[in-house]
A and B are shown apart, each in its own frame.
Chain A
Amino acid sequence: MTDQLVQQIVNGLLIGFMYSLIAIGLTLIWGVMNIVNFAHGDFLMLGMFTSFWLYTLYGVDPLFSIPVCTALLFILGLLIYRYIVSKVMKGPMLAQLVVTFGVSIFLANLAVFLWTPDFRLIEKPLLHGTWDIGEIKLSIPKFVATIGSVIASVFVFLFLKRTKTGKAILATEMDREAASLMGINTERINSISFALGSALVGIAGAFLSTYYYIYPQVGGTFGLIAFCVVALGGFGSIEGAFIAGIIVGLAQTLGGFFIDPAYKFAIVFLIYLITVWIRPEGLLGW
C-alpha cells in the first residue's frame, strides 16, 4: 500500500511540475497586463507541434528543438501582442477576456486545417523509457520534463529578480502607473512579458511532446487546468504558480486514487474555490 502511495505521489509531482511550467508563462502575462490569455493552451499546442514536426521531418530530438520552440513562440507572442492584444488594452475588460478566446479558436482550428485532427506521438525521444526504483516506476520523459520545468522556473525567477528588464517587469506588475512614472516603457514591458510567457509555454510544449499525444485540441485540456493553477497561486506570482502547479498535480492524482478518479478534477476545482474563499488573492498573490 505504501508503494502505491509513493507511486501516486511521484506521478502527482511529475504532472504537477508540468502544470507549473505551463502556468508560469500564463501568470506572467496575467500579472503584468491583467490579460487572461485564453489562447495559452493553444500556444502549448503549437509548441508541441513544432517539436513534433522537427522530429518527424528532420529527426531533431525534442530536447534540441527547445531553442526553436522558444524562439518561435516568443515571436508569435510578440506578433499577437502587437497586432491584436495591445489594441484591446485600452478597451473594456470584457473585450480583453474575449479577444484571446477568438485567438484560441482560430489557432486550434488553423491546426486542424493545416495538420488534420489526427493524433501524433513522438515514439522514441532520446530520453525514453521507465526507471525502476525498487517498486516505483519513474517515467524518464516526464522526469526530464520535471527537471526542465525547474530549470526554466529558476531562470525566469533569476531573470525577473536580477536583470534590469526583469525588474522592470516586476515593477509594472506591482504598480503600473508608478512604473510608468519611473520611466519604464510599460508598452514595451507588455510585449516582452507576453512574448516571454508564450516562449515559456513553448518550452513546456516541447517537453510535453515527449510523452503526451499531440493534436489540435490538446490546448483546451491543459489550458483550463493552467488557469486554476495560476489563480490558486495568485495572479502574477511566479513562485505561486510554481507551487500551485505541484499542489494541483498532487491533488489530482492523490484525490483520484484515494477518493474517486471520476471526481479528480472536481477535487482540483474545489481546492481552488476553498483557497480563494479563505484567501481571495490566491496563495502567494498580492
Chain B
Amino acid sequence: MRSLSFKQIALCLIALILVALFPLAFSKPFPQHVMILIFMFGTMAVAWNIMGGYAGMFSFGQVAFFGIGAYTSSFLLITYHVNPWIGLIIGGLIAALVGAAIGYPCSNLRGHYFAIASIAFGEIVRTHFNNWKLIGAAEGMTLPMMEESFENFMFHSSKLPYYYIMLAFLIISLIVCYFVATSKMGYYFRAIKESHDVAKVLGVNVVQYRLIAIMISAFLTAMAGTFYAQYVLYLDPESVLILPISVQIVLISMLGGAGSIMGPVIGAAILIPVSEVTRVMLGHKGTGIDMIIYGTLITLISVYQPKGVWGLFSNVGKRTR
C-alpha cells in the first residue's frame, strides 16, 4: 500500500508536538484527565479498528480484553508483587490468548452474528470475574499506594507522567496499525472483510488471519486496561468489564472513521470531550440533557457523515457500499 506522504508525516509531527505541549499550557488536572481519556479510548479504538475496521470483525466485546489486562497486572502486583510493566505484558498475552480461544470457534461468524457473539463473550467474562473470589469478585481490587516512580508505574504529585505514558501507548498502537494496514497482512485483512470466499480463493488462510487480528487487538486493548488500573488505583467488574465501554469504543471508531488509521483517534478526540463536558456542565442537574445531546450527536453523525470525520478529509475510496 501507499507509504506516508511528506505532508502526512509533517501533519502528524505537528499534531504530536501540540499534544505534547498541551499539558504545559493547560496545567489543571481535569483537562489533562480528559486528554488521558482521549488517549486511552483512542488506543482501544485503534485496537478495535485493526480487527473491525480492517478485518471486518465488528466486536462489541473489547471490554473483556480491557478488563483482563487491568485485572492481570493488578492481581500480579497485589499478590505476587510483580512489577506492573511486566504485568502489562503478561496481561496483554493472556488477553491475546483468550481472544484467540474465543475467536477460533467464532471464525465463520460474520456481521451481526459475530457482534452478538462478542457481546455474549464480554458478558460471560464479566459474570465470571464478578463471582471469582480469587480476584476479589464483585468487591474488586484496590491497588496499594506505592512510592511514586516510573518503575512502579504510579504517580501522585502530577498527572504528567500518566499523560505521556498513555500518549506513548497510543503512538505504539498507531504504529502497529500502520504496519498492519500497509503490510501484506493488512491486504489479507481487507480481503477477509470483503468476503471470506474471495479471500480463500486468493489463498488466504482466513481463520489464521482472523485470529492474528484478534490477538493484536486484544493485546493493545489490555495495555490500556493495565494503564487504567495504575491510574485510578481501583477496579471492579462494574468499572472495567461493562458493555457500555465496548459500545463507546465502537462508537468512537465509527465516528472518527473506521478503516483508517487516524480515524479512531479523531473519533476519541471528539466524543470524549463532548461526553465529559456535557456531564460536567449538565449532568449535575440530573435531567439527562447531557446524554440527549450525546445521543443526538451520534445519530446525526451516523446519518450525515457515516464515513466518520475522516471521511470528510479522505479522497480515497469514493466507492459506495
Contact = CB atoms under 8 A, between A and B. Distances in A.
Interface of A: 30, 34, 36, 84, 87-88, 90-99, 101-113, 117, 216, 224, 227-228, 231, 235, 260, 262-263, 265-266, 269-270, 272-273, 276-277, 280-282
Given A113-B289, A228-B116, A276-B113, A98 B295 contact: no
Contact of B303 (A87, A101, A265): A87
A276 B117 contact: yes
Interchain residue pairs A-B with the least CB separation, the first 8: A102-B298, A105-B295, A106-B295, A95-B306, A102-B299, A112-B288, A91-B306, A99-B302
Contacts of A109: 288-289, 291-292, 295
A277 B106 contact: yes
A95 B295 contact: no
Contact of A272 (B117, B286, B288, B289): B117
B294 A105 contact: yes
Contacts of B307: 91-92, 95
Interface residues of B, number: 51
Nearest to A271: B120
Contacts of B321: 90-93
B295 A227 contact: no
Which of B105, B115, B116, B130 counts the most chain A CB atoms within 10 A?
A: B116
A56 to B, nearest CB: 21
Interface stretch (B23-31, B173-181, B243-251): B243-251
Interface in B63-121: 105-106, 108-109, 111-113, 115-117, 119-121
B276 interface: no
A46 to B, nearest CB: 14
Which of A103, A108, A266 counts the most chain B CB atoms within 10 A?
A: A266
Given A36-B115, A113-B289, A266-B127, A273 B298 contact: no
Contacts of B121: 269, 273
Given A106-B292, A277-B106, 16 more contacts: A87-B303, A91-B307, A94-B258, A94-B306, A96-B302, A98-B254, A98-B298, A101-B251, A102-B302, A105-B291, A113-B289, A117-B288, A227-B119, A265-B123, A265-B127, A266-B124
Contacts of A99: 298-299, 302-303
A110 B292 contact: yes
Q: Is the interface of B mostly helix, strand, loop or mixed?
A: helix
B297 interface: yes
B165 to A, nearest CB: 30
B253 to A, nearest CB: 8
Contacts of A277: 105-106
A110 B296 CA distance: 11
B133 to A, nearest CB: 12
A270 B102 CA distance: 12
A237 to B, nearest CB: 13
Contacts of B254: 94-95, 97-98
A92 B127 contact: no
8 contacts: A92-B306, A98-B250, A105-B295, A109-B295, A224-B123, A265-B127, A266-B127, A270-B124
Contacts of A108: 288, 291, 295
B141 to A, nearest CB: 19
A273 B117 contact: yes
Contacts of A113: 287-289, 292
A55 B295 CA distance: 29
B289 A106 contact: no
B287 A102 contact: no
B128 interface: yes
A105 B302 contact: no
Contacts of B113: 231, 235, 276, 280-282
A102 B274 CA distance: 14
Contacts of A117: 286, 288
B188 interface: no
Interface string B27-56: 000000000000000000000000011000
B131 interface: yes
A269 B64 CA distance: 14
A111 B292 CA distance: 10
Interface in B263-321: 286-289, 291-292, 294-304, 306-307, 320-321
